[in-house]
Structure 1
């Protein structure tokens, strides 16, 4: 299996390098005028394929590890539940906004405003939790030395 992955990685890397060389050889002027705009497509597809493979392998190996190790499954579910709780609390706290905001050429709805507010609150709460955790870990490490 490892040999197959190495061969796939080598082929995709070679294809990406060839695409990059073709783009560089065409020059900036040809790219800006759109004369050689088709050269970007193979590079983009290579990136999409690599991203898809990485996401697939991460999901497969994470799920495999979760179901073979029940202790990690329990802690993962606790973490996912805590994250979901933060998101739900942020949504409930966010009351939306009565002001009218432009979203491109259209006006943003109150639901969109509510979701943006919830996202901001969730971001701030998670940022505070991360900062407190880092400070706590640093202090604990200094005390234990």
Structure 2
């Protein structure tokens, strides 16, 4: 693995090249352990938080659709509310597993959450908003009010 940045250690500059003929000291071995993928790979197992999920917004003449990518969830994990023209979508999920093997016990737990909010335009009929979850995509249907729907062009005759 190549070191991209030289970081000072104990007041000295770190060399990216090491004399391969000599055996590493204990401290350099520990440093190498965490500079290689093992250190970051080990620590990344504990990062089970969720970033903000990606959202697609589609509109046609009658409605809006929000598509939110949230794989690995259940329908019951979502909390969707509309209050004062603000649509809030949130989820909170925690998991805990215990594995016992001989003299070693490993206990892992994870917690993830997110919250997305959207200010709804006046054209949305908020009483008829509905949602469905399928194949990791949460789809929220936002119908437009009748007066906001696009009307076909009307020909006006001149008299």
Specify the TM-score bucket, using the shorter chain as the normaliser. under 0.3
> Larger % of strand: which?
2
Larger C-alpha radius of gyration, 1 or 2?
A: 2
State TM-score, norm by structure 1. Answer: 0.25
> Larger % of helix: which?
1
| Higher RCO (CA 8 Å, separation ≥ 6 residues) | 2
State TM-score, norm by structure 2. Answer: 0.23
